[in-house]
Structure 1
Amino acid sequence: MAEETPREYGQGTFGEAKVSKRKIPFRIRVSSFFDAALGSTRGFALLGIAFLITLALVMTGIQAGIALVNVLNDDASDANNFVNAFWTQLSRILAVGDGGTWGERIMGVLFWIINISISAGLIAYITAQFMALFTRLGRGLSPVFESKHTLILGWSPRVFPILRELAIAKSSERRPTVVIYSDVLRPEMNDAIANNCGDLGKLRVITRHGSMTNPTEVARANAGEAHSIIVLRADEAGDASVVTTVLAMRATIGDVHPPVVAEIEDEHIARTIASATDGLVQSVQSSDIIARVTAQAARQPGLASVILDLLDFSGNEIYVAEVPELAGKTYGDALLAFEKSTVIGIETADGKNILNPVPTQKIAAGSKVVVIAEDDSAIAFTGVSNVKPLVKAKASGAKQKPHHLLVIGWSSMGHAVLANLADYLATGSSIHILARKELVAPEELKGIKFGKITPTLSFVSGRIEEVVSVAEQRNYDEIIVLGYRSQMSPTDADAQTLLTMLQMKHIFDDDSNKAKPARIVAEILDSTLLPLARAASSDDLVVSDVLSALLISQLSQNPRIASVITDLFDADGAAIHLVPVDEFVAPGKSVTFGELVATGRGEKSSVIGYRHAAEATTNEGTGVVLNPDKSHTITARAGDGVVVIRNS
């Protein structure tokens, strides 16, 4: 019977696969050994000791061999004068000594070669270690030891306005520090900050590089000792990167951590994270903020500048302050109890914010007031003032006129803008949407409705004659220009927006058509293009995602005002309004701001500022003065307005 060949089985079935062993050459084995030894300091030290012992043995053998050769032990000075002279000069250059015999001279040269080789090797190794250390430090891989810092996790264009705002907000601190931790290389971050932020004063910006989804690496940012944490949304990665970053951060420092402001677009994700973290993580939706402010800007000239003033740190800000002297008094009393700050609401003892409550509402012990002030140090109780209201020159509450809007361009932003705006529009208002037919499918706009208004639609190819034809059909009050952010890159969308603004300016300047000039509210995605947008249409307001950066900065420093900002931006509840001054006082008459506040109190409104129409002729962002002193005198002029917060 023939001998059976042993059966072999494949790996993973009943046995291991038979693998033939490859013979590795000795040279490669030695090379691999040296690579492994040189890869660590301990290996290098052991290899160096072995090398020195080997050299000592070799040199001992060479010296013994020289001793056996008689000619090498003869006196070398017997050689001719030229050879001796040459050796003398060479020995001085090499510093090996004169050497009485040829053997000593040979040993001197060999020792010189060994010394040079060892020195060169040590210098090369030490240099390599220092270079590796400097490279590591340059990559931003070292841990952060600062405390009470503002930690920014992530990287996006919003980081630049955030840094500028934090530089202002923290200017009174002794050593204000912001730590930015992201997966962007540190040199790129440092260069971008230097090129886009300008002078940040004494604000220290520390950048660190690493994975934001690895808790071990995130721990290097020292999030547990931060004053507040900002999580930015990378535009290309979406909300997923924010969620994983928040989870990595919480895995590092636990469930109790500093306040976190996260930039999240999806409303459902935002609510889920807020609920899962018991409100410690607040979300900011960039597109929602832009949509709300755009809607406010389209309502009335000057409202957007009021919002910007409240959001940035360079002017007035919103604070929540405890004033024990107000306990037992009414909200109406509080309105006139501060000379240099303006009261707009109450925070109850359980943390609920009520904007513009009725004047008769009592302020209970433990409650706080929500105020607008230039700084928290300006919030000083000056006593309840008995300022009398003005005798009103004109009945308030005039019937709101219909508003006609032309929307040029379209994206998901359009739904949010018009949904926010529709609640403010009077009966008889209209909305007409003009979109490029190659960029927006008619089915996308079919059947849309905002409140009680069903928009009319026009799909065009982009020729100026088509735009003129639409603009001539009605006298529009505002024109909203939206970028095609869903259909093209931000750069191309902004270029299209700027082109549309130039088109509208040309149409309004051309007397050959019947288009009536109107205000333009334009959406610019890249805030660095704002100067170009101003040049394209200098009289019109332009908003951008810098608004979300301003809100993120505010909430990172004062998370308690989140509900206040949300309420002010909503159509429901309290909102900012610009009321004609002749509803308060006859034009030409001088009054104090305190008298305007007292008059507004009688109308269940909180007066917060004033708008000078004459100063708003060149740019609607000017002319608005928020929170003047109560004793400040104002001379009313035709077209001026009073900025109030009142319930819708």
Structure 2
Amino acid sequence: MKMITWRDRLRYQFDKSMAAGPIALIGWLAVISLIVIVIAGLFLALTGITPEGGEPVSFIEGAWESLMRTMDAGTMGGDAGWSFRGVSLVVTVAGIFVFSALIGVLSSGLDEKLDELRKGRSHVLEKEHTIIFNWSPSIFDVISELVIANQSRRNPRIVIMASKDKVEMEDEIADKIADLGNTRIICRSGDPTDLYDVNIVNPQASRSIIVLSPESDYADSEVIKTVLALVNDPDRRKEPYQIAAEIRDAKNAEVARIVGGSELQLVLADELISRIVVSSSRQAGLSAVYTELLDFDGSEIYAVEQPAIVGKSFGNAVMSYDTSTLIGICDTDGVVHLNPPTSRPIAAGERAILIAEDDAMIKLRSGDFEVDREIVRPPVHHQPTSERTLLLGWNRRGPIITQELSRYVAPGSELMIAANTPGLESVVAGLSYLTENLAVRCAVIDTTNRAALDALDVPSYDHVLVLGYSDDMAAQPADTTTLVTLLQLRKIADAANQHIGIVSEMIDVRNRNLAAVTRADDFVVSNKLVSLMLAQASENELMAQIFDELLDEDGSEIYMRPVTDYIAIDRPVNFYTVTLAALIRGEVALGYSRAGVSGHDPRNMGGVVVNPAKSDKVTFGANDRLIILAR
């Protein structure tokens, strides 16, 4: 074994101090400067060397002269006498070295600090901020919705943490979102599943937290681990968090709920989209209703206590609002009851679940109201008939759509699945669905090919659904393929001189307007809907529970039904009358959809009106429909 000498120890200690960073380097430069100044001062004092014609100097005076020449090389310009000039030259050269090194150290230290800031690893000290973990295409819609929600708040902040470069995140947000209003975005780079990194964004002081599903093969596992890091942090706050998390596979939902407990609202992305696709395929325009309820730019769902309706029956309470729509009750145990029996009394401490344009608009009507009972029609019962549905395209939501469709349709219905997906036959053979209601067939075809589509006899189907190939393609190529398919379907419909009911999934909301030329009946923008749901869940602790019931076939669902089933349309009618006609059937009227509406439609509502003022009169047409909440 080699013997460690004192030189080795000195070198080791020197190396350690040099590795300590700029402060240590500055310290060493100060030591070198002090040594040079002391030696020069002693030398001048002991040798008596002075400027030409000058008097001998003391140690203090000599040290001062040396210090001046160390700091300013120009000081020696006025020196006289070669001996004194020689000493000054040595001191000045040493000073040049020291200060040059000092500038280099400071510059290097500043660069290191800027690099550290660029990495986004500094701790966030914000309070009452919204945190978004992970990065996905949905993040831009989430931010856009939160910006709208933050308009009435003071100094709102959104803090984002993802395994992505901080500057890249900031640049992409600046490119995709033109107006952030009064909201400031703060980005941090880190691992959202790491306990230390999670604490960088200061969740203890946050008002809400959104956990997006990352673009990885183990997305759900990463989401669950992030939630685990939040709720099981030993240093976490005592108050509960308000967490909204996106889970793709419903099989992982139970584990996520165990981890997050009552602090977590789950958004089952694939189930949400699949159920809305199925509902919209059978009732065109329904996706616009869900979008209206989910976005912050229009009517929203609120859960607030309303002492004025305590003791009233639910039916009477519904008629008590003009500019708001009462749709349910949240009991004192936190359980949501949508469209409860009209005779159910509202108890103290229960919260009313209402649709309103703003929480300031939630107030009871003033004065009496009129109801035209003469035009209210008795309940009409339509016998369900079998249906034929064509599903073009395939992705991971296909099995859920098949299962959901089999629960809605009448026995004897058919589903034809056609997609350019290898191994489709084996996938379809393993699908789980209600075989007593639905017969499923499949074919592997190019869904953008006109001849292949003609061979399917598209006009013979009652409904056509178009899914994007999002499992195998990025968002833009998948939407491009969908657009080509829709254009081919439009040509087929024109050639047959027949309307074909088409509902299409779009992944990127920016392609929604491009698809308008295809004249499809409805579009379900998957990323947009998930983003809206997450944003709403971060603001409303009951939102996930409300939509679970809205999209559950055993709960109260939203339907689009002919207005003529409820009232006569031979005269203008206010919405109080429509509301009463629905209550007689044990239903709640949410709004209406006007047929054949054209013109400027920036929000792509397609004639859908949610939460109309009940006192306003409307003249309905024969093809108009009511938006109904019913069991």
Which TM bucket (shorter chain)? 0.7 to 0.9
The alignment status of 1:507 with 2:489, answered yes or no, reads no
CA shift, 1:432, in A, is: 1.4
Cα deviation for residue 164 of structure 1 reads 0.6
Alignment partner of 1:601 is 2:583: yes
| 2:269 aligned with 1:261 | no
**8 Å CA contact retained: 1:405, 1:480:** yes
Conservation of the 8 A alpha-carbon contact between 1:483 and 1:524: yes
Say whether the 8 Å CA contact 1:299–1:424 is kept in structure 2. no
Who is 1:469 aligned against?
455
CA contact (8 A) 1:154 1:231 kept: yes
In the other structure, the counterpart of 1:176 is 156
Q: Does 1:589 align with 2:571?
A: yes
**Structure 2, unaligned runs of 5 or more:** 54-71
Q: Distance in 2 between matches of 1:614 and 1:534?
A: 15
Alignment correspondent of 2:130: 150
Partner of 2:68: none
SS at match of 2:329: strand
Shift in Å at residue 198 of structure 1?
1.5
Q: Is 1:457 matched up with 2:442?
A: yes
- Cα distance in 2, alignment partners of residues 198 and 580 from structure 1: 41
Deviates more, 1:108-117 or 1:592-601: 108-117
- For the residue of structure 2 that corresponds to 1:217, the secondary structure is helix
Q: What amino acid sits opposite 1:557 in the alignment?
A: E
Residues 441-474 of structure 1 show CA distances to partners (whole Å, capped at 9, x for unaligned) of 31211264633111222233554212111125x5
Q: CA deviation at 1:487?
A: 4.1
Deviations 1:249-288 (A, max 9, x none): 2243167531111111232322222134332122112111
Q: Structure 1 residue 390: deviation in Å?
A: 4.4
What does 1:103-182 correspond to in 2, within 5 Å? 103-182=83-162
SS of alignment partner, residue 486 of structure 2: helix
TM-score (norm 1): 0.85
Match of 2:306 in 1: 323
Q: 1:497 is matched with which residue?
A: 482
1:220-619 correspondence runs (5 A): 220-236=200-216, 237-252=218-233, 253=236, 256-382=239-365, 387-388=370-371, 389-392=373-376, 396-436=380-420, 439-446=422-429, 448=431, 450-451=433-434, 452-461=437-446, 463-472=449-458, 475-509=460-494, 511=495, 514=496, 516-537=498-519, 540-615=522-597
* Unmatched runs of 5 consecutive residues or more in structure 1: 1-19, 76-91
Q: How far apart, in 1, do the equivalents of 2:78 and 2:600 lie? A: 91
CA shift at 1:608, angstroms? 0.9
TM-score w.r.t. length of structure 2? 0.87
SS across alignment from 1:455: strand
Q: Percent identity?
A: 29
My pick for the range that moved more, 47-56 or 319-328, is 47-56
1:32 is displaced (CA, Å) by 8.9
Distance apart, 1:375 and its partner CA: 1.0
Q: How many residues align?
A: 605
Match for 2:29: what amino acid?
A: G
Greater alpha carbon shift after TM alignment, 449-458 vs 349-358 = 449-458
2:29 is the counterpart of 1:48: yes
Shift of 1:105: 3.0
In structure 2, what residue type is equivalent to 1:225?
A
| Paired position in structure 2 for 1:101 | 81
Give the distance between the partners of 1:116 and 1:173, measured in 2 at CA.
Answer: 56
Residue identity in the other structure for 1:55? V
Secondary structure of the 1:278 match is helix
Shift of 1:46: 4.2
Aligned counterparts of 1:46 and 1:392: Cα–Cα separation in 2: 90
Q: Report if the CA contact (8 A) 1:263-1:284 is conserved.
A: yes
SS in 1 for 2:142: helix
2-side partners of 1:528 and 1:230: how far apart?
23
Partners of 2:414 and 2:95 in 1: CA distance: 91
Q: Are the equivalent residues in 2 in contact too, given 1:390–1:584 (CA < 8 A)?
A: no
C-alpha distance in 2 between matches for 1:222 and 1:465? 58
How far the C-alpha of 1:94 sits from its partner, in A, is 3.6
Superposition RMSD in Å: 3.2
Corresponding position of 2:628:
644
Following the alignment from structure 2 to structure 1, what is the Cα–Cα distance between the partners of residues 516 and 10? 70
1:15-64 Cα deviation digits (max 9, x unpaired): xxxxx65999x999969935742533553354224312442466468769
Distance, in Å, in 2 between the alignment partners of 1:556 and 1:541 is 25
Native 8 Å contact 1:316 1:375 kept in 2: yes
Structure 1 CA distance, aligned partners of 2:192 and 2:358?
35
1:189 aligns with 2:169: yes
